[in-house]
Structure 1
Amino acid sequence: ALERALARIVERHEALRTRFEDVEGEPEQRIEAAVGFALRRVDLSALPMQSRETALEAQMREEAQSRFDLSRGPLIRGRLLRLEAEEHVLLVTQHHIVSDGWSLGVLVEELRALYAAFAQGLDDPLPPLPVQYADYALWQRGWLSGARWEAQSRYWREQLRGAPELLA
C-alpha cells in the first residue's frame, strides 16, 4: 500500500517525474512517463537496539548525503527502514528543483490519504489535478513579462544590492 501510494503521487505530479538535460549549455526539462516508485527497503530489526539506532542514523545520513543526477532522475527517492515488525521509518528525499516546503505538505497529505485508502483495498480517493506545475510556470512566465518584469527585476536588484555574489 505504501509503495503504491508513493507511485501514485509520482504519477500524479509531473514535477516528480521531471529531469533536466543540458542542451547546448541550457537546461531543458523532460517529463518522464510514470514507472512506479523504487522504494528501497532496509531491515534493521535483527540488530541489537543500540546498534539499530546507530544504523538508523547512518542510513539517514547516507540518504541525506546522496546526490541526485538532474539529467537522469528520478529526483525523488525513498527508503523504508524496518526497525521492528510494527515499527518502520520512511525516508523520502526530493531534490529542491522539484519540490519546496509548500509542496512537501501536499506530498504528506496525499500520502496519508492514498496509503489509508490502499491499505483498505480502496481506490484512489484524490480528485484529478486541474493543472500541473509546468502549466502554472507557463502562466506565470506570461504574466511576469514586459513592464511587470522590469519593475520586479528593479525591485529585487535594489533589495539584493550589496549581497554576496556567491554563497559558500
Structure 2
Amino acid sequence: KADNEGDIRQYIIPAEQLDFKISSEDFSLAENQQEAIAKYIEERNHEAFDLEKAPLIRASLLKVKEQEYVFFLSMHHIIGDGWSMELLVSEVVEAYNRLIQGKKVDFPELGIQYKDYAVWLNGALQQAKHQASEAYWLNQFEGELPVLDLPSFKTRPLVQTYNGANIS
C-alpha cells in the first residue's frame, strides 16, 4: 500500500482488524460434482487479489456429502512461498486433528514477524555485499591511476579545471 509520500510500504494489520472468513459451499446435490468443485476452485484461483486490501488469503469449505468436505485455500505469493504454505498446511492439519480429538487448538503467539527477520537478514546481506564490493573496487583502483584519454573533438586544456554545466 502506498503511504502519504507515494512510497510502497508493507502494513501488517492486527489480527482483530482482519476480516477473514472461511466461506462454505454445498456441492452435495450438484450434478457432475467433481467437475462443479473443480470449476469452483479454478474460478476462485483466477480471482485477482487486491494488494492494497487484506486479506491476501482465501479459504472455502466445500461440502461433498454429509461429513465429507474439501478444504480450499488460496493465498497470494507475496504473503508466502512454498515453505510458508507447507507450514500453514501442516498447522491446519494439526488444528483439524486436535478438533477431531476434542482437544483445544492453541498455537503459541509469534514473538517475531517474518518481516523482522527479513529486514535483519537483508541488512546483513547488504552489509556483506557492500564490504565485498568495496574491497573489490579499492583493489581495482589501488596505486597510481592513469589519465583517461578519451577521443574528443576538443583538445584537453593545459591546466585542469573542474568547470562544468548542468542541463535538465
Q: Same fold (TM over 0.5)?
A: yes
1:76 is aligned to 57
**Alignment pair present for 1:31 and 2:5:** no
**Alignment pair present for 1:62 and 2:43:** yes
1:126 & 1:111 partners in 2: Cα distance? 11
**Equivalences for 1:90-109 in 2 at 5 Å?**
90-109=71-90
2:29 is aligned to 46
Q: Are the counterparts in 2 of residues 75 and 94 from structure 1 also a CA contact under 8 Å? A: yes
**Equivalences for 1:1-168 in 2 at 5 Å?**
21-23=1-3, 24-35=5-16, 37-48=20-31, 51-149=32-130
Q: Are the counterparts in 2 of residues 76 and 93 from structure 1 also a CA contact under 8 Å? A: yes
Amino acid at match of 2:30: L
Q: Are the counterparts in 2 of residues 117 and 125 from structure 1 also a CA contact under 8 Å? A: no
Q: Deviations over 1:23-77 (max 9, x none)?
A: 23321111112146301111010123xx212211110111110111111110111
Greater RCO, 1 or 2 (C-alpha within 8 Å, sep 6+): 1
Structure with max Cα Rg: 2
Q: Are the counterparts in 2 of residues 113 and 125 from structure 1 also a CA contact under 8 Å? A: no
Change (3 A) 1:124 1:87: closer
- What percentage of residue pairs aligned between the two structures are identical? 35
Change (3 A) 1:109 1:55: same
1:108 & 1:77 partners in 2: Cα distance? 13
2:80 & 2:125 partners in 1: Cα distance? 21
The two structures, once aligned, show a CA RMSD in angstroms of: 2.1
2:138 is aligned to none
2:11 & 2:45 partners in 1: Cα distance? 25
How does the TM-score come out when normalised to structure 2?
A: 0.68
How does the TM-score come out when normalised to structure 1?
A: 0.68
Q: How many residues align?
A: 130
1:149 & 1:95 partners in 2: Cα distance? 32
Farther off after superposition, 122-131 or 110-119: 122-131
More helix by share: 1
Per-residue deviation, 1:125: 4.5
Structure 1 residues without counterparts, runs of 5 or longer: 1-20, 153-168
